[in-house]
Structure 1
């Protein structure tokens, strides 16, 4: 007489169901954590679902370039308004230097969180250098490696104004015709969002 197979009791089936539920919950938790990171990486790398609207006025630099990639060696721990002059610092360049100082002043209470600087590839004229010393006492001055600058920007002639974060990363770039109000709004917005510098 053969022995009859006993069906699993209800108490034995419960642990199997509990294990299955536990695995599903663990899988959902892992997907909830890793999924958004994978999605964000895909959006960045493949440029899909990227919003067209923007709230800034300059050209966003989001590729990890730093101040050194412009050919400027500096150690500034604050936000910086950097004017680059790959040629002589003529009218457009001088206007950007003036604008950088005015923007810093325009920050009011937040002015201590930013600095303004000029990086020039060629020596400044004696007259302009004297004027900068007299009228722009807080202006930091650096040499600019024109070859590195040209390689990074593809432009060996036009002066630009850059917003650089306290870690030295390039954030925004502006052409000589930038409006001061737009630049000031951009920098205020960055300072408001940032806990550094």
Structure 2
């Protein structure tokens, strides 16, 4: 008897239609941006040309070992690589790395500075490093590995390396200290590691 009182309706009620439209709109709001972002990435349209960093981004998962430096480090590192003799450009970058670490102030303990050289240093510069750079970490640079890496040019470079040993940014000797410091501070601010 209850079935006869409520016959099945063949037409949709307005509330049901409204609910379907709301569901479709919600799905479009969730899935639409993902689809748009995928097309933007694949087709390279509406991609911003500006960037917030000053060095060359190394975003392919390379580590210190990929440029010929074997080291264990659990902090951020300002690593200077010298594939040839550590001449003026190299020495300037070593000085800059130390100054940047000092400039970090209360975050200075989160970073270190290091030099990886492929050739022995001159006796004068070696003495200067021992006297003036007591916290400078020293590594050897495997030149054959370094030269095989496309991201590693032939002159002295300064690399920002994360606590896991991943290469993040690379700079040549023309870098301005203020720009590099801004990049490093931003990385430390955004990072929960190191």
Q: TM-score range by the shorter chain?
A: 0.7 to 0.9
- Relative to 1, partners in 2 of residues 1:145 and 1:36: Cα closer, same or farther, differing over 3 Å? farther
Deviation per residue, 1:9-63 (Å, 9 max, x gap): 438999xxx9xx89x969x76x94x776676566556654432111111111111
Is residue 187 from structure 1 mapped to residue 184 from structure 2 by the alignment?
yes
Q: Secondary structure at the match of 2:100?
A: helix
The number of aligned residues is: 188
Unaligned ranges ≥5, structure 2: none
Is residue 119 from structure 1 mapped to residue 107 from structure 2 by the alignment?
no
Contact 1:146 1:156 in 2 (8 A): no
Deviation per residue, 1:143-195 (Å, 9 max, x gap): 11112111113655310001111111111110101111111111011111111
Q: Secondary structure at the match of 1:80?
A: strand
Match of 1:94 in 2: 91
Q: Secondary structure at the match of 1:93?
A: helix
Is residue 79 from structure 1 mapped to residue 76 from structure 2 by the alignment?
yes
Match of 2:8 in 1: 10
| CA distance in structure 2 between the partners assigned to 1:77 and 1:39 by the alignment | 38
> Which 10-residue stretch deviates more, 107-116 or 164-173?
164-173
Is residue 52 from structure 1 mapped to residue 49 from structure 2 by the alignment?
yes
Is residue 169 from structure 1 mapped to residue 176 from structure 2 by the alignment?
no
Q: Secondary structure at the match of 2:51?
A: coil
| CA distance in structure 2 between the partners assigned to 1:167 and 1:65 by the alignment | 11
- Relative to 1, partners in 2 of residues 1:191 and 1:155: Cα closer, same or farther, differing over 3 Å? closer
| CA distance in structure 1 between the partners assigned to 2:43 and 2:145 by the alignment | 28
Deviation at 1:142, TM superposition (A): 0.6
| CA distance in structure 2 between the partners assigned to 1:59 and 1:135 by the alignment | 29
Contact 2:67 2:152 in 1 (8 A): no
Choose the corresponding residue for 1:157, options 145, 154, 157. 154
Q: Secondary structure at the match of 1:76?
A: coil
Contact 1:87 1:122 in 2 (8 A): yes
- The two structures have a TM-score, normalised by structure 2, of 0.80
- The two structures have a TM-score, normalised by structure 1, of 0.79
Match of 1:3 in 2: none
